[in-house]
């Protein structure tokens, strides 16, 4: 037990240092420099999330600053209801392997939880991730009309994918009958 606890604390150290530096250094900077620093530090994952492409810098900064760190042990399952970004490690989600800079949980953008992905994310190694709750994400997005439009596009894409899935399932049933 002591060895597992020591290993976990060692794995969380990098993320805790990141949070400490952000909390202690950023408030000392001017607003413009804060935006520049946050964008620089988080650009590697912000640029990969499709529904954030083309978003204003201010929305990206607000989202990045609301992200909290979480470390998962091997075999641990992530709690649903959050958008997660892998910072380090390997996650298995819906039959896909996710590594640094990849994300899961973008279904939190949907209004109706019945459309959420049924898959759970499982850590295949120690995983350091950033996460933001559905409430925080929608709160930030609602303050920016362009981002709200992107959310609506995501909803439309999800509904089209669901309709295609139902149509293909119906074809299988009809062919088998």
Whole-number percent of the chain with pLDDT over 70: 71
Q: What pLDDT score does 156 carry?
A: 62
Nearest residue to 33 (alpha-carbon basis) of 1, 52, 57:
57
Strand partners, 131: 68, 84
Distance, CA of 42 to CA of 27 (rounded, Å): 17
52-92 residue pLDDT tens: 777 888 888 888 888 888 999 899 999 988 999 999 999 99
CA distances from 151 to 14, 55, 157, 158 (A): 32, 11, 10, 11
Q: What pLDDT score does 150 carry?
A: 58
Q: 155 or 70, which is more confident?
A: 70
> Which of 2.40.50.40, 2.60.120.10, 3.20.20.140, 3.30.1440.10 is the CATH number of 2-176?
2.60.120.10
Question: Where exactly are the structural domains of the chain?
Answer: 2-176
Please tell me the pTM assigned to this model: 0.70
Q: 39 or 21, which is more confident?
A: 39
């Amino acid at each position: 037990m002591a060895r597992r606890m020591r290993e976990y604390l060692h794995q969380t150290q990098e993320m805790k240092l990141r949070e400490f530096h952000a909390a202690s250094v950023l408030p000392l900077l001017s607003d413009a420099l804060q935006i520049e620093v946050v964008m620089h530090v988080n650009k590697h994952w912000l640029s990969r999330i499709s529904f954030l492409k083309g978003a204003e810098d201010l929305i990206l900064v607000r989202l990045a600053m609301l992200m909290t760190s979480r470390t998962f042990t091997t075999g641990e399952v992530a709690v649903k209801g959050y958008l997660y970004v892998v910072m380090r490690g390997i996650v298995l989600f819906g039959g896909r392997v996710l590594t640094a800079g990849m994300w899961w949980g973008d279904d939190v953008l949907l209004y109706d939880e019945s459309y959420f992905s049924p898959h759970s994310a499982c850590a295949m190694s120690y995983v350091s991730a950033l996460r933001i709750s559905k409430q925080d994400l929608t709160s930030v997005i609602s303050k920016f009309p362009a981002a709200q439009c992107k959310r609506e596009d995501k909803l439309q894409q999800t509904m089209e994918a669901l309709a295609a899935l139902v149509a293909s399932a119906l074809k299988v049933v009809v062919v088998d009958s």
